[in-house]
Amino acid sequence: MPRILLLTGFEPFGGERRNPSWEVARGLDRRAIGGLEVRAVRLPVTMGPATRRLRETIVRLAPGAVLGLGQAGGRPALSLERVAINLFSNDEAGGGRTREVITGGPDAYFTRLPLTPMLDALKREGIPAALSLSAGAFVCNAVMYAGLHALRRRPSIPAGFIHLPYETSQAARHRSTPSMSLDLMARAVELAIRAIAARRRA
């Protein structure tokens, strides 16, 4: 029986009608990829409810891998996040009031995803992607941090986060903004999952 990969995306926010992170996640839901069965979960764009739902789902599904997806409008490529920090700002730009994601938790967690194989697989197919040193300080970072914290006693489970650009239809409403088709983003996430599955089998 294939192990479960928990794939999370977010509901729309900021006046958008769609969020590519959830559109990609739900499109891959229940698919078997590289021996992993994808289970997609939609998260609210609110720190407390989002991190609670993530923790509850990890307990319920006991996944063999966790991959979070979020939108970073304005970025020209997929961003493979390296670090999540124990800091949350109620302002997406990071200038609002701040507090810890997990009270008394470590300052930061590093991703457990196989970033180099993932990046290599994306580049082989000509999909724009890059490593990122910061997942920001908003809900995406909080979800990445909370997921890694929930799995802190299970260090063999791959877990991490990828930011996606605007989807093409969104970019039409934002002048001079980079974007990517939903199909290409879905293909990119599938390749990332295959790299995760290969690392688990190694």
**Catalytically annotated residue among 56, 100, 125, 163:** 163
**Catalytically annotated residue among 11, 23, 37, 81:** 81
Q: CB–CB of 40/53 below 8 Å? A: no
Secondary structure E strands in 27-118: 32-33, 36-43, 65-71, 78-81, 83-85, 88-89, 98-99, 108-110
Q: Is 149 a catalytic site residue?
A: no
Give the whole-angstrom CA distance, residue 15 versus residue 158.
33
Supply the pTM of this predicted model: 0.94
Quick: pLDDT tens for 70-112.
998 778 899 999 999 999 987 665 566 889 999 999 999 999 9
Domains with residue ranges and CATH for the chain? 3-201 (3.40.630.20)
Measure Cα distances from 10 to 19, 37, 195, 197 in Å. 7, 20, 23, 23
**Catalytically annotated residue among 23, 37, 92, 140:** 140
Q: Is 81 a catalytic site residue?
A: yes
Quick: pLDDT tens for 19-49.
999 999 999 999 999 999 999 999 999 999 9
